[in-house]
Structure 1
Amino acid sequence: MLDGRGETLQLKVERLVSAGSVRKVSGDVLLKVAEGSGGFLTGDRVRFVARLKIPEVYGLPGEFDYPRYLAYRGISATAFLPRAAEVVLIRQAVAYPVQRFFDRTAQRLGKYIGECYPEEGRILRALLVGDRGGIPEETKEAYSLAGVSHILSISGFHVGVIALTVYGILFRLLVRCRWLACRLNLRRVALLATLPPVVFYLFVSGAAPATVRSVIMIVVCTVALFLERENDPLNSLVIAAFFILIWTPQLLFDISFQLSFIALWGILVLTPLLLTPFHGIDNRFLKGSLTVLMSSLAATVVTLLPVIYLFHRASLAGIISNFIVVPLLGYGAVVAGFAALVLIPLAPVMAYPFLVCAAWTVRAADYAVVTLSRIPVLPFHTVSPESLILFVVLLFAITFVNGRFRVVLGLLGAAGLVLLNWPLPAATAGALRITFLSVGQGEATLVTFPDGKHMLIDGGGTPRGDGNDVGKRFLAPALWRMGVTKLDYLVATHDHPDHIGGLGYVAAVFPVGEFWETGAPSESEQYQALKGILRQKRVPVRSITSECRPLTIGGCLIEPLAPLPGDNEGAERDKNNSSMVFRLTYGKSATLFTGDIGADTEERLLAVPEKLCCSVLKVAHHGSRHSTSPAFLAAAAPQVALISAGRGNSFGLPAGETLARLWQRRIEVYRTDLDQTIRIESDGCREVVKSFADGHFH
């Protein structure tokens, strides 16, 4: 599921081999494979060599609590491999015969679909057998921007469509037999006969919580019909939630479970309310179209705040997209594809026409998605926790209140939500804020100037790629949560992946006023992709070297100090030593940004020691022992030093020698691996250091 070519495996660990010793352990590991698929089934015993990583919270504003998310799934650690071939199958299991049957069936069906339609088959495999591993990231992003990413995950909607289709076909076949019609309740028989194919689809598609919910609701509806009891959709929804949570209570904290139930809850409660003005319409087609439209509107409205809170981005394009894409994929591709699933094992030749129809609907849906994804997202990227509480209370009240009070409650609730999220002026206007973001073994710094302009220096990343987009997962949410909607200046000190890994996504989703670089030639694919995004958005580019004149931004003076003449030349140049270095001065406060320079560049900068003097030093190269020499420290003479490093990193950074040199000079040291995100505020006379905890800077 990485880059649209890999897969993700959840493994129960039995033995751990480390430093030549074998230990028996217990716990689950989430293994992410970047390319390929091993075709493994439930219960297979495998072996691989990878570094285990304990999930941790970096301590960023707006950060998703990934460790807690994994803990609810019973996962204790993660691992990463570039290729599936590095996972070795030791022995196939004899246990789990039922689950292995469905796994094998899903693999065979998915393989056949992929062979028939390599491109459209990626979406079809996601819709029919729950395999999203083949969908490219750009396709997922387009569906997300169009507001229909939910259609790519098998949900209760898919099950409901299949159930209604199977029921309708069976009922029409049964009523043609007069003998059966005279002796049986055909509606009950058809409904009962619908359950086996629906349950088959449930297990083949992976039994996701939303799918289980829908199957339980269908079973409840069937039982109610046989017992001649009135069936209330809300009661069925509650019963489904009850049984699912009894079996797996941790799903209460699962995002997909929450959004799925909230969406259906909103559809059941709000759709009748939204259709109230149209009760007089008799045209069946128009009434059906309005029902679909209002259901889409209801689902969008009730999930809007949770989606913004969790993902920091939402679009109203889903209201239109659901009206176009959902019928194409949900009714067209799913129904035709399910018919093909049934026929593939029995008569592949007969299945092919259905796949042709399903592939055509996928192509039409993709075209619509690409068009609709161009609709701008909403200009809101964060909401307060209080808003979510008010939202849930409001939804409860509307559920149990009838008549005009529903409308009154809705209007009052909407007004309250607007007031809670009304943007307030920045409390620290007139101050310089420098926020050193904790992004693991990478580096990213946000500078907010006294006039409110924002500069992002570097974008984090990982020295060894692990498939995670730091910009998407950490950096952009942090910026949005801190109220940043535009980056006036985007700075890349050099092109190493731990400094530019997140800049591509940030440049794509934020308006950027100007891009700063050293002007050095680069063969980095990440850097070339970043430059391509900037060219497409027509962002001006400025080369910053020691030969540039000082710049003034928001009352702050920026003095470029490096790269020095000759640093950017030659194939053998040291990219670290040719990093961008500059001093930012505001009143009596000065911060020295040093990139990843080493002792050689530090020695050359000592030619003009007075330009190094600062009150805050961003320690070079994550605290490497090859940087921050005693002479350089003596010239800079900082009061505070900041080191950006990942917790427990394999490089052993920051180095003990560097820390000793800082402590020897009695410099106050802050580290992102220990102190997490750190903010330094200055009024031009003195600095105040704050750390991020409990959702606030203290």
Structure 2
Amino acid sequence: MLFMSMAMAGNVLIGLGLLSLFFLRILLLRNLKVIIACVLAAAVFSAACLLSNHQLSQIPSKQSYVVKVYPDTTKVDGANLSFIAKPEDTNQKMVFYARLKDKCQQQLFKQSVDPLMVTVAGKPSDFLPATNVNQFDAERYYHHQKINSSFIVENIHFDGSPRRQTIIDRIHIIRAQFNHYCQRLPKTLGIYATGLISGYRANDFFDEMTGVQRLGLLHIFSISGMHVAYFLSIVDQLMAWLGLSKLKKAIIAITLLGGYFVFSGGSPGLMRAVIMAVIAIINRLLKLGFSRLDIWSTSLMINLLILPETMFLMGVQLSYGLSLGLIASEKFSYIKQTILLNLLTVPILLFNLYEWHVLSVAVNLIVLPIFGQIIFPLVILGVIVGAAGAILTTPIDWVLHVFNDGLNAISGLPGMIVFGKPPLVMVLLMLSLTFFLAIADRLYAKQISLALVTIYLGTFCWIHFPINGEVTMFDIGQGDSFLIREPFNRSVTMIDTGGKVQFNSESWQKGTQHYQAKRLSINYLKSIGISKIDNLCVSHQDADHCGDLPAFIEEMAIGQIIIPLGMDKNPSFMQKIAKRQNKTKLLCVNDEMQVAKLPATIYHPYLAGKGENHDSMVLGTQKGGLSWLFTGDLDRPGELDTIARHPGLTADVLKVGHHGSKTSSDPQFITSVKPRIALISAGRHNRYGHPNDETLVTLKQHHVRIFNTQKQGMVRYIYRNNTGHFETVLKGNEGNLE
């Protein structure tokens, strides 16, 4: 089933290859019963997948819906609201997005614990696919959970609470009440309580838990087997005191597990733990004689029937991988078992997060027993005593705070390896060899270990020393951000970082500040193994060009930041780079300067300024047989000044100024520079109307081929020596240059 799922919804070639090997193995057994069982299982699974895809293909198209909204499942961030729900007259879940109109609506969703019946009016919308390479793909993520469409809410009408409350409604009410209660607890205790007990993560969860993320400990905060085991142990103890029969114990335990599944958020990763626990209870009750591996396999089959694409979710991969590792290493010592489990997580984490801290194994060895024996019980105790008085939780919160700060401090120590994204084939090979290592004898263990190390080192070198270079325009919405990377990563240069322009808004409308560069451009850099930027060039002060600069300073080592002359006198900009490392140089330049190790020539500015549009830095470079010119938001007078000061300046590829606004791209400038290719970076449906029709007409009159992030997403020019080709993430205008 797993290989069929991969072939149908993942990597077709790898899935079909593994599936062929599996069936070849089955045929070689020459056992008719096994062959028939496998064929029947394949038929059932195929039917389930076809039914699931058929349901998902029926995309709802209504303009309004009546929806039951559970407050414990909503996400309110400032004026932004999102929730997943199943409208009353459909059989599909949808993701709803809304912009709340006033503070009363915000408080209603934040403070209510009862389900809300609402009528929403708006328009259905497909998920926008990932528009940058290795970007989180919301379309695929929700599709794997049988959610295939979203709805943009334009108006919300509250119809009150449901007249009748179901058992599911009551469980959601209890969860909402619990989350509200935890919000009144001291901050760290509240975050740990919701994360470990109800599975709810507040908007600032990841800001507070940086150490947990960086050290690969996030799995202990994903409600899974450990939490289910704690839950069952409490239930078993209570039922033992009551002296119930085995049958009654089993019925009560299974019922409570179903309730706990809903209460804890019902994540696909938790489904594995609950299904395995239910099968184990039935196995003990009916004395079926299932081994732990049988229970694991049965759980996987049931999970795949319910959610055929579930194994493409990282949380599910970790859940099943670690549980299988526990089974394979049940006779190992604690140290050996912990090391093995960490080795199993590494390929999955690298494929999804691209980095790994060398202290992870040591920290896991120390933290896991502390967490299970001290932290988790303390959290439960804190939740209980918090009802009696907040003062009683103070020492517990202090312990948790020290523990969390310790993890954050350790994660900040040297040792974070930006590995990059290994190919899927390598990931499967790494996982397979790690499992073989667990079951191999000493003789073969050395050989497998050597092979494993060789694969890791080989993959690392392949990612970090690519034979191709690239010039990349990121799709960051309304803004600019470009990468110039030379072959073998000899030099890495960024031009602008992008960022969001903050418009005037009331305090209640402002949500948690997130730098989108972390999930777009920085994410891409890490996926190709880049952790250091040699040159970070900032064209000018506007937020859509340098607003995400603090994120780059936080996440990347930077050799030098290069800005237009005079911009260092701008307090607002200098505040953005205040936390830069001491070894990061700040260079203010004009067109008469040559910067060492910068693979580009500076053509503007020639006078000191404040970093406004007309002060924009203009850079030119030669890469892959093409000449390139990047103009920031330079206006028309600035363009004419540039060609007047640098007569004969031409470029094969022009980064169109000011996102295609009519304030740039003077026809005389275009005639003089003679570009063949134009790059336009602008947001979809932006309020400025970029790119302007006048600019597009000018470019077409000069027979310039246009790449626009609005239509093509990320645009990459991949080159080797003096030849190369353009690639776009969204299908459109791409290919070799004529």
SS in 2 for 1:582: strand
1:544 is matched with 589
Secondary structure of 2:357's counterpart equals: coil
Conservation of the 8 A alpha-carbon contact between 1:678 and 1:691: yes
1:25-104 to 2 correspondence within 5 Å? 28-31=94-97, 38-39=110-111, 44-46=116-118, 54-73=126-145, 74-77=147-150, 89-94=158-163, 97-104=166-173
User: What is aligned with 1:314?
Assistant: 356
Query: Corresponding residue for 1:496?
Result: 542
Could you tell me which residue of structure 2 aligns to residue 454 of structure 1?
492
Question: 514-523 or 152-161: which moved more?
Answer: 514-523
8 Å CA contact 1:433, 1:681 repeated in 2: yes
Contact 1:123 1:132 in 2 (8 A): no
Distance 2:600 2:185 in 1: 62
Partner of 1:579: 616
Correspondence list, 1:186-265, <5 A: 198-265=257-324
Task: State the SS of the aligned residue for 1:489.
Answer: strand
Aligned to 1:280: none
Letter paired with 1:372: I
Match of 1:365 among 403, 424, 436: 403
Matching residue within 672, 678, 693 for 1:641: 678
2:507 counterpart residue number: none
Q: Distance in 2 between matches of 1:687 and 1:641?
A: 18
Matched with 1:20 is: none
Distance 1:31 1:528 in 2: 36
- Partner SS, residue 149 of structure 2: strand
Q: Residue 141 of structure 1: CA displacement?
A: 2.4
Q: How far apart, CA to CA, are the structure 2 residues paired with 1:214 and 1:587?
A: 52
Cα displacement (A) at 1:596: 1.3
Change (3 A) 1:245 1:529: farther
Distance 1:200 1:501 in 2: 45
- The residue type equivalent to 1:10 in the other structure is I
Q: Which residue of 1 aligns with 2:631?
A: 594
Q: TM (normalized to structure 1)?
A: 0.79
| Partner SS state of residue 592, structure 1 | strand
Q: 2:202 aligns with which of 133, 149, 171?
A: 133
Q: Using the alignment, how far apart are the partners of 1:587 and 1:403 within structure 2?
A: 51
Q: Which amino acid aligns with 1:568?
A: K
CA distance in 2 between counterparts of 1:578 and 1:90 reads 55
1:443 maps to what in 2?
A: 480
* Cα displacement string for residues 549-601 of structure 1 (whole angstroms, at most 9, x for unaligned residues): 233537x4512412x536428xxxxx333322233357995322110122243
Partner of 2:421: 382
Gaps of 5+ in 1: 16-23, 175-179, 276-289, 570-574
Structure 1 residue 75, shift from structure 2 partner: 4.5
Contact 2:215/2:356, CA 8 A, preserved across alignment:
no
- Distance (whole Å) between structure 1 residues aligned to residue 313 and residue 221 of structure 2: 18
State the alpha-carbon separation in 2 of the partners of residues 369 and 67 from structure 1: 33
* Among 632, 653, 656, the residue aligned to 2:690: 653
2:184 aligned to which of 115, 118, 126 = 115
> Out of 687, 690, 698, which is 2:726 matched to?
690
Bigger shift: residues 320-329 or 364-373: 320-329
Question: 2:528 matched to which residue of 1?
Answer: 482
* d(CA) in 2 for partners of 1:363, 1:298: 29
**Contact persistence 2:76–2:110 (CA under 8 A):** no
Per-residue deviation at 1:167?
3.2
Q: 1:235 is aligned with what amino acid? A: D
Q: SS at 2:417's partner residue?
A: coil
1:162 partnered with 2:231: yes
1:213-250 per-residue CA deviation (whole Å, 9 max, x = no partner) reads 22322222222222334342222222222333333334
| Contact 2:196-2:223 at 8 Å conserved across structures | yes
- In structure 2, the residue corresponding to 1:56 is in which secondary structure? coil
Q: Which residue of 1 aligns with 2:216?
A: 147
Task: Report whether the alignment pairs 1:558 with 2:613.
Answer: no
* Structure 2 Cα separation of the partners of residues 30 and 650 of structure 1: 23
Give, in whole Å, the separation in 1 of the partners of 2:548 and 2:162.
Answer: 41
- 1:382 maps to a residue whose letter is K
CA distance in 1, matches of 2:536, 2:338: 38
Shift of 1:514: 0.5
CA contact (8 A) 1:675 1:691 kept: no
Q: How many residues align?
A: 640
Percent identity of equivalent pairs? 20
Q: Which of residues 557, 560, 568 in structure 1 aligns to 2:610?
A: 568
Contiguous gaps of at least 5 residues in structure 2: 1-74, 101-105, 504-510
Report the Cα distance in structure 2 between the residues aligned to 1:675 and 1:327, rounded to whole angstroms: 50
> Which residue of structure 2 lines up, in the alignment, with residue 281 of structure 1?
none
RMSD (Å) for aligned C-alpha atoms: 4.1
SS in structure 2 at match of 1:38? helix
Q: Structure 1 residue aligned with 2:558, among 487, 512, 523?
A: 512
Q: What is the alpha-carbon distance in structure 1 between the residues aligned to residue 198 and residue 480 of structure 2?
A: 40
State the alpha-carbon separation in 1 of the partners of residues 654 and 183 from structure 2. Answer: 55
SS in 2 for 1:116: coil
Q: Name the structure 1 match of 2:55.
A: none
State the Cα distance separating 1:3 from its structure 2 match. Answer: 7.6
Q: Secondary structure at the match of 2:260?
A: helix
Q: Say whether residues 1:411 and 2:449 are aligned partners.
A: yes
Matched to 1:690, the amino acid is F
Letter in 1 for 2:149: S
The reply to whether residue 421 of structure 1 matches residue 475 of structure 2 is no
TM-score (norm 2): 0.75
Whether the aligned pair in 2 keeps the contact of 1:192 and 1:222 (CA below 8 Å) is no
| Separation (CA, whole Å) in 2 of partners of 1:697 and 1:395 | 40
Contact 1:51 1:79 in 2 (8 A): yes
Provide the residue aligned with 1:9 in structure 2.
Answer: 83
Query: Which of 163, 174, 194 matches 1:105?
Result: 174
Q: Give, in angstroms, the shift of residue 144 of structure 1.
A: 0.4
Cα 1:544–1:10, aligned 2, differ >3 Å: closer, same or farther? farther
Aligned-residue offset at 1:610: 1.0
**What SS does the corresponding residue of 1:104 show, helix, strand or coil?**
helix
Q: Conserved in 2, the CA contact under 8 Å of 1:162 and 1:335?
A: no
CA distance in 2, matches of 1:404, 1:335: 39
The one-letter code of the counterpart of 2:654 is: L
Helix, strand or coil at the partner of 1:28: strand
SS in 1 for 2:577: helix
1:44–1:92 contact (8 Å) kept in structure 2: yes
Instruction: Answer whether contact 1:507 1:530 (CA < 8 A) is retained.
Output: no
Which residue matches 2:326? 267
What is the alpha-carbon distance in structure 1 between the residues aligned to residue 81 and residue 337 of structure 2?
34
- The superposition leaves residues 266-287 of structure 1 with CA deviations (integer Å, 9 ceiling, x where unpaired) of 2221453xx2xxxxxxxxxxxx
The SS at the match of 2:536 is: strand
- Return the alpha-carbon distance in structure 2 between the equivalents of residues 165 and 336 of structure 1: 15
- Secondary structure in 1 aligned to 2:461? coil
Pairwise CA distance, 1:188: 8.3
Aligned 8 A contact 2:602 2:617 in 1: no
Q: CA 1:109/1:331 → structure 2, altered by over 3 Å: closer, same or farther?
A: farther
1:306 partner amino acid? I
* C-alpha distance 474-625 of structure 1, shift in aligned 2 (>3 A): same
Distance 1:652 1:213, change over 3 A: same
- Distance 1:614-1:208 versus aligned 2 partners, 3 A rule: closer
Say which SS state the counterpart of residue 416 (structure 2) adopts. Answer: coil
AA in 2 matched with 1:550: Q
Paired AA for residue 593 in structure 2 = R
